[in-house]
Amino acid sequence: MSDQLTTFFYPNNELVKNSAVQGMSAYNDLCEHAKNDYEGFWAKLATELLTWQKPFTQTLCSKEAPFYKWFSDGEINISFNCLDRHLQNKGDKTAILFEADDGTSTSISYKDLYSQVCKFANGLKTLDLQLGDRVIIYMPMGIEAVIAMQACARLGLIHSVVFGGFSAKSLIERIHDASARVVITSDGQFRGGKKMPLKSAVDEALKDNLCSVVEKVIVFKRTNEEVTWNPSREIWWHELIENQSDICDPVWINAEHPLFLLYTSGSTGKPKGVQHSSAGYLLHAMNTMRWTFDVKDSDVFWCTADVGWITGHTYVAYGPLAMGATQVIFEGIPTYPDASRFWKIIEKYKVSIFYTAPTAIRSLIKLGPNLPREHNLSSLRILGSVGEPINPETWMWFYTEVGGSRCPIVDTFWQTETGGHVITPLPGVTPLLPGSCTLPFPGMQMSVVDETGQEVDWGTGGLLVITKPWPSMIRNIWNDPQRFKQSYFPEDLGGKLYLAGDGAIRDKETGYFTIMGRIDDVLNVSGHRMGTMEIESALVANSLVAEAAVVGKPHEIKGEAIVAYVVLKTKRPEGDDAKELVNKLREWVGKEIGPIAKPDEIRFGDNLPKTRSGKIMRRLLRSLAKGESITADISTLENPAILDQLK
């Protein structure tokens, strides 16, 4: 590693002076406050940042741990906090600058966004929905996706956004699990210059009464494509809001009322419905906007994540709006019409805070390492990285070529389950080290422990845990409290530590955290979690497949590539037959889960490497996937000859 990659990059005096958290001593003071008066620390923030209808008197309730409650006797409305309270002073301020796939720009002020949300909420009211009913949102990136989420929040409906790249099968699983009464979708979406269907996946999910719980489907007209229509169940978005008032009183709800469910891949095949609260979640979304991104009134914030992921919830649909910021929302992909698209958007809208994933950065380096220099990126003030660890070389390119060696990079570590950042540099505080997410966000109590829950020495790798509850934490897995406890508060660690599911190491000198990757069978593909079991189940669902095992291997762009080992019910194919079958099975997985889950490689074997007790030896498969020679002990292997077949 070059010296440059092990050098610290310190915040300059100007940056420190103007930041929300000014210098390391201010950071240490916040951490000390949290350590000495944990509840008081969070109560102060919740009083400072949130607007309450009924103030809370109880900060943290641990009676039913690990089912913690925060601010639980307070009443709030999330949409009110994102919109209504800005109307007086920021009504005319631009809330969203929308860049369509074809480059068309649309802007909407806070006042107009409020009106649109109210109209849509009033439209939803006509469908006889009750407080706490679930609504599936399956939409393209755009202002309407945010309107749909905010309208649900306004009425106390629980939304579950499904990423527009997921298949009908993924929709069915989520509709069933959430017992959703309404689906909000679009006739289609634009991506990379192509029209792509969306409603057809909803049609497939609802055919033959597969999801009979769904009573209404609201369809936004985006592409003007012909769609099949069921007039008893379906209604156009524009007809739903026609003649609706642009005023809608917010429904004041308990602080602990679920705001949304977001399904994430687990190490078993069934997706987990991560349940988030209202007040605690929004508090952390706002505070991380304030301290991690140092957001100012004059900033133009751009998070490139889709609202189908947690990043798009916290740093598109809720955090920027609650802070009264102006943000960019982009419909398209970074490489269309060419690899300059991101840099053109930054130049066009004078983006000052840019938050994206290492996968996107790596693909843009590959397609045009010098392209940022052809654009005026002087508006940039802060850069951010999210979704997976960023390797030091990519960090350096991002820092020098995009940020002009003047913008701090906040390399944020967090998860769907944490709701917002838990380890991250702060712009005016942290000496930056390429490849390290550095120190805990103030108030977050992080540690690295061994398999028994004991803290390990700094410099020793172990399991990353959060040692105290925090306001934006996952509250439950929808309909599965047992799985919640087993997944996140395992008895092996004493039942009180939140297990992040990642390995980590703390530097001996600095205490900086470096994330070492997943400890379970979950892959990180382009910053998105994919359960190996989920892909295996999809493969085995094909009538030709007898058995499958899926592992990850390093990939220079995506972080991890998906490698599938498949045993067929017929003899092992070779040559063109094998190639043809690989394509068939890839398409099959794409249909079952979504294109993101398609294996990069499929290798066929007469069997899989198993112990005599029948357990698949995945560590050997990981070594084979990487092209490593097998040096591990294989004496327990029932069928060692199979390894040559699977190379």
List of residues 6+ apart from 524 with CB closer than 8 A: 387, 388, 517, 518, 530, 552, 559, 560
Chain mean position to CA 542: 29
Residue 625 has φ and ψ, to the nearest 5°, of -60, -40
Whether a cis peptide bond, with omega within 30° of 0, leads into 337 is yes
- Whole-angstrom Cα distance, residue 174 to residue 263? 7
User: Crossing angle for the helix pair 38-49 and 23-36, nearest 10 degrees?
Assistant: 110
What is the number of other CB atoms lying within 10 angstroms of the CB of residue 450?
13
Can you give 100-146 as a three-state secondary structure string?
Answer: CCCCCEEEEEHHHHHHHHHHHHHHHHCCCCCCCCEEEEECCCCHHHH
3-state helix, strand and coil shares in percent for the chain, rounded to the nearest 5: 35, 25, 45
What count of Cα atoms within 13 Å lies in the side-chain half-sphere of residue 245?
A: 6
Task: For residue 568, list its beta bridge partners.
Answer: 545
Find the DSSP H helices in 300-376. Answer: 310-312, 319-322, 341-349, 358-367
The answer to whether 382 and 393 have CB atoms below 8 angstroms apart is no
Q: What is the pLDDT of residue 2?
A: 45
The answer to whether 153 and 235 have CB atoms below 8 angstroms apart is no
Q: Where are the beta strands (DSSP E) in 405-543?
A: 409-411, 446-449, 462-466, 476-477, 498-506, 513-518, 522-525, 528-531
- Whole-angstrom Cα distance, residue 342 to residue 506? 34
Chain mean position to CA 139: 16
The answer to whether 447 and 439 have CB atoms below 8 angstroms apart is no
Task: For residue 260, list its beta bridge partners.
Answer: 159, 276
The answer to whether 135 and 157 have CB atoms below 8 angstroms apart is yes
CA dist 442 → 21, 32, 332 (Å): 10, 9, 35
For the chain, the distance separating the N- and C-terminal CA atoms, rounded to the nearest angstrom, is 30
What count of Cα atoms within 13 Å lies in the side-chain half-sphere of residue 372?
A: 20
List of residues 6+ apart from 48 with CB closer than 8 A: none
List of residues 6+ apart from 177 with CB closer than 8 A: 263, 271, 273, 478, 479
Q: 128: alpha, beta or left, given left = phi > 0 and alpha = psi -120 to 50?
A: left
- Surface-to-core class of residue 360, CB atoms within 10 Å of its CB (0-12 exposed, 13-18 middle, 19+ buried): buried
Handedness of CA 204, 207, 213, 214 (dihedral sign): positive
Can you give 199-235 as a three-state secondary structure string?
Answer: HHHHHHHHHHHCCCCCCEEEEECCCCCCCCCCCCCEE
| Nearest of 271, 67, 309, 307 to residue 177 by alpha carbon | 271
Find the DSSP H helices in 548-627. Answer: 575-592, 618-625
Q: What is the pLDDT of residue 6?
A: 66
Segments of the chain scoring below 50 in pLDDT: 1-2
- Whole-angstrom Cα distance, residue 598 to residue 535? 8
| Nearest of 234, 282, 260 to residue 77 by alpha carbon | 282
Task: Considering only the C-alpha atoms of the chain, give the largest distance between any 2 of them, rounded to a whole number of Å.
Answer: 74
Determine how β-strand 182-186 pairs with β-strand 216-220: parallel
- Whole-angstrom Cα distance, residue 301 to residue 298? 10
- Whole-angstrom Cα distance, residue 254 to residue 245? 26
Q: What is the pLDDT of residue 628?
A: 86
List pLDDT tens digits, range 16-30.
Answer: 999 999 999 999 999
